[in-house]
Chain A
Amino acid sequence: MKRSIKSLISIMLVLVLALSLAGCGNAGSSNVIELRVLNYFSIANPGALEEVERVWDAFEAAHPNIKLIREDEFEEPFHFATEAHAAAGTLPDVIYCWPSGRSSALHTNRLLKDLAPLVARDNFGANFNSTVLNPDAMGGGYLAMIPNGVTATHAFYVNLEVLESVGLEPAKTYSELVAQVPILREAGYETILMANEATWVMQSCLMSAIAGRFAGEGWEKAIHAGTAKFTDPDFVAAIEFIERMYVDGVLDRSTVAVDYGSSPGLFATNRAAYMIDGDWRVGDFITDAATGQVLIDPVRQEKILITVFPEIDLPGVKYNANNSVVLGTGWGLNANLEDGSDKLEAAWTLLKWLVGKEVLTFRVDSGGLPVPSRTDIDLASLDLEPMQVAVANLGQHYNRSNVVIDAAFDGQVYTPLNDGLQALGLGTITPMEVAQNVQNQFEAWKAAQ
C-alpha cells in the first residue's frame, strides 16, 4: 500500500515534469544575435493589428542576423514584469518605458543605458524636437530613453454641433463659459464633460495646466527648492479655481461618477458642449481600422475643435494659453549592454528603427501617436481624419508649457492632490485643506530622502 502511494505520487510528479518540459524549446545558433524586448502592447491600441507586421516582422526581415524575442505585456502586468525583471536583474535588452512616473525605478537606479554617446556618435538627434532629448526631463537626469512623442495632457474639445444648435460660439473666456451654462442646461446639454471617476484625470488633464496659469512657470522647481509651498496663495488659487468650476456649474459634480471608458461615448452623442481630456483621446473617436466602426465619423469630426482651456479672466492669473506637457513613452536599452559589443550595436539599431521615421509615421497614421517626437514626419502626406489633424495642430493654441504634476512629484505627494481634487467635486473638503495635505506629504517625503 505504501508503495502504491509512493508510486502514485512519483508518477504524478513525472507527469507534471513531462508536461512542463514538453513546452520548453531550445533556441540557439551561431552568428545570430538574440535581443530580448519588453514591449507594451495591447490589441485594443490603435494600429495594434498591424504593429507586429509593420514594426517587428519588418525589422527582422531587414536584419536577418538579429533575432527578436519579444515579450508583449499590457497595463498592470507590464509594470509587474518590469519591476520583477529589475529586482531579479533579468531586464531585457530593449525596454519600453516611461520618462519617469511608473518607470522611475529604471531611471533612478540607472538600469537604463545612457544613450547620449550613441546619439552624439550617429548624430541621431538631428531630426528630433529638441525638447524630447532633454536629460533633465527624465527620471534619472540623463538620457535614458528616446520618447516616441510628446504628450499634451490637457486638451479642450469643443463640439460646434452642440453650440450651434443653441446659437452659441466657442467661449473665449471663462466668464463667457459661465454665461453659457444656463443656456446649455436649458437645452439639456452638459457644459464640460470630464471623466473624473479616475482620480488622475483632474490632476493630469486640467489641474496641471491651471497650476501653471496661477503659479507661473517653474513653480514646481520653487517647491522642490523649498522657496515655495503648495499652501502659497498662488497654488491654492489654482485649486480654488477647480472648486469654482463646480460651484459655477461649468463642471457638474456628477462628473465624479463618469468613468474614463464611457466619456467618449457621451461626447460623441452630443451630450456636452465641451470635453476636457488628454490629446491621446483622439484615437478613440477616429475610425477603427479593424472593424470600420467609428464614434464620430470624419464628416462630423469637422465640427470638433481641439484647443486649450479658455482665457481665465480672473485676478491672480499669470498667463493663459498654456498646456501641461510631458515626454511620451519610448524606448531605452539595458544598462548592462557592454560598450562596443555587437549586442549593443544590434539593440541600438533596433531602437533607432523603433523611433525612426517609418515606425513613427505608422504610429501617427494609425492614431496611436498624436504628436511624434520627430520633426521630419510629413503629416500632410498622410490620410488623416479631421480630429487627427486638429490634435496634431494643438501646439498652435498654446505658447507656454508647464509640468504635469504626476511627472514632477512622487506618488506620495500627488496622491493626496488627486484624492483632494476629487473630494472638491464631492464638496467634502476645502481648497486650503487639499493644499495643506499635499504640503504635509511633500515635507514628509522630502524628509525621507
Chain B
Amino acid sequence: MMEKALSIFSKVILYTILIIFTVLAIYPIIWLFIQSFKSTQSYLTTNKLALPVEWFFDNYPFVWTHGGFSVFIVNSVIYTLITVFFVVLLANMAGFGFAKINFKISKWLHGLFIIGILLTIQSILIPLFLMVNSVGLLNTRLGILIPYIGLGLPMAVYLCTDFVKHIPDELLESARIDGAGYLRTFISIVFPMCAPVSVTLAIITFTGTWNEFILMNLLTSGDRLKSIPAAVGRFAGSLGTDYGRLFAALSISLIPILIFYMIFRNQITKGVTAGAVKG
C-alpha cells in the first residue's frame, strides 16, 4: 500500500522538499561568489540578481592584502585543529567516565556540563577577560585555546555521554574480564566505537571555532594572533559597508570550510555505519 502510494504522489512531494532545501543551501553561496566580482559601487547601483556587467577582480587581491588573510589563515588553522583535537579527546574521556564508571559525583558533574550548554557567551565575556588577563595569558595562543576548548566541551561531553551510555555493558564487561583496566577499555574499545559521535563533534567544533569572532577579538590585540573572522569584520560596518570587498572576504573565509566539509561529509555516514556494525 504505502510503497505504491510513495511511487507517485508522495515521491513528488519528497523530491520537492529535498530540492527546496538544496536550492536554499546552494543558491546563496553561488550568489555570494558572483557578487564578490562586483565593485561596491556597481553592487549598490545594479540589479542584485544580475551577473556583473563588468567582472571586477580587484576585490580579492585587495582583501587578501589589507584583510591580513595570510596571517589569519595560519592562526585559524592552529586554533581550529588544536581545539577540535582536545574537545573530541577530552569529551570522549569524560563521556566514558560519566556513562560507565559508577560514581555518585558523575550525576552532578554531568549536570554542570548541561548548564554550560545553556550559557550565552556574551554573559561571561568580561569575567573571562579578567581571568585571562590576571594569569598573564592575554595576547597568547594559549589564552585563546583554553577558552575555546572549555566552551566546546559542554555540548561535546553531553553528546558523548549520551552515545557511550548506549554501548552495551556486556561488551565492556567482557573486556574487563579479560583483564583490561578502564583506561585500556577506553583506548581499545570505547574510543574507536565513538567514531561516529567524534566525527559529528569534530565537524561541529571545527565550524564553531573557525567562525568564532567575539572571544578572539576580545582576547587578542594586534594582527599577530587574530583569525579569519577578524578580516571579514573589517569590511562590514554599521556606518557604510564595503559590499564588494565584504563578499570577497566572506568567500575567502567560506572556501576552506566548504572544502573541509566536502572531504569529511562522507565520514559522518561511514562512521555511523561502522559504529552500527560493531555495536
Q: What residues of chain A have their CB less than 8 Å away from a CB belonging to chain B? A: 1-2, 5, 12, 16-17, 19-21, 23-24, 42-45, 49, 69-77, 80-81, 83-84, 87-88, 90, 198, 260-262, 264-266, 268-269, 280-281, 283-284, 288, 290-291, 293-295
Contact = CB atoms under 8 A, between A and B. Distances in A.
Interface stretch (B5-13, B111-119, B216-224, B258-266): B216-224
A265 B242 CA distance: 12
16 contacts: A1-B183, A16-B141, A42-B235, A44-B237, A44-B241, A73-B217, A75-B236, A81-B217, A90-B138, A260-B239, A261-B241, A269-B45, A288-B41, A293-B41, A294-B41, A295-B44
Contacts of B78: 19
B142 A261 contact: no
B207 interface: no
A132 B90 CA distance: 57
Interface in B51-76: 58, 62, 66-67
B277 to A, nearest CB: 26
Interface of B: 39-45, 58, 62, 66-67, 78, 82, 85-86, 125-126, 129-130, 133-134, 138-143, 145, 181, 183-184, 187, 213-214, 217-218, 221-225, 230, 233-243, 245
B152 to A, nearest CB: 15
Contacts of A45: 237
B126 A23 contact: no
B172 to A, nearest CB: 16
A2 B186 CA distance: 11
Contacts of A1: 181, 183-184, 187
Contacts of B86: 12
B140 A80 contact: no
Nearest to A200: B238
B222 A2 contact: no
Contacts of A49: 66
Contact of A290 (B62, B181, B221, B237): B62
Contacts of B125: 80, 84
Contacts of A74: 233-234, 237
Given A16-B145, A261-B240, 10 more contacts: A1-B184, A23-B225, A74-B233, A81-B218, A288-B40, A291-B62, A293-B40, A293-B42, A295-B41, A295-B45
B69 to A, nearest CB: 12
A75 B82 CA distance: 29
Contact of A71 (B45, B67, B145, B221): B221
Contacts of B43: 265
Contacts of B138: 90
A42 B222 contact: no
A83 B240 contact: no
The 6 A-B pairs with the shortest beta carbon distances in the complex, nearest first, are: A265-B44, A20-B141, A77-B217, A20-B142, A71-B221, A261-B241
Contacts of B243: 261
A268 B44 contact: yes
A20 B145 contact: yes
Contacts of A42: 234-235, 237
Contacts of A293: 39-42
Contacts of A81: 217-218, 221
Contact of A264 (B143, B222, B240): B240
A284 B242 CA distance: 9
A98 to B, nearest CB: 13
Contacts of B218: 77, 80-81, 84
Nearest to A86: B126
Contacts of B187: 1, 5
A76 B122 CA distance: 12
Residue of B41, B187, B218 contacting most chain A CB atoms (<10 Å):
B41
A44 B126 contact: no
B142 A17 contact: yes
B126 A280 contact: no
B187 to A, nearest CB: 7
Contacts of B62: 290-291
B39 A280 contact: no
A1 to B, nearest CB: 5
B140 A88 contact: no
Contacts of B224: 23
A102 B41 CA distance: 31
Given A20-B143, A74-B237, A75-B237, A84 B129 contact: yes
A72 B222 contact: yes
B77 to A, nearest CB: 12
A269 B41 CA distance: 10
B67 A43 contact: yes
Residue of A1, A43, A87, A90 contacting most chain B CB atoms (<10 Å):
A43
A332 B42 CA distance: 39
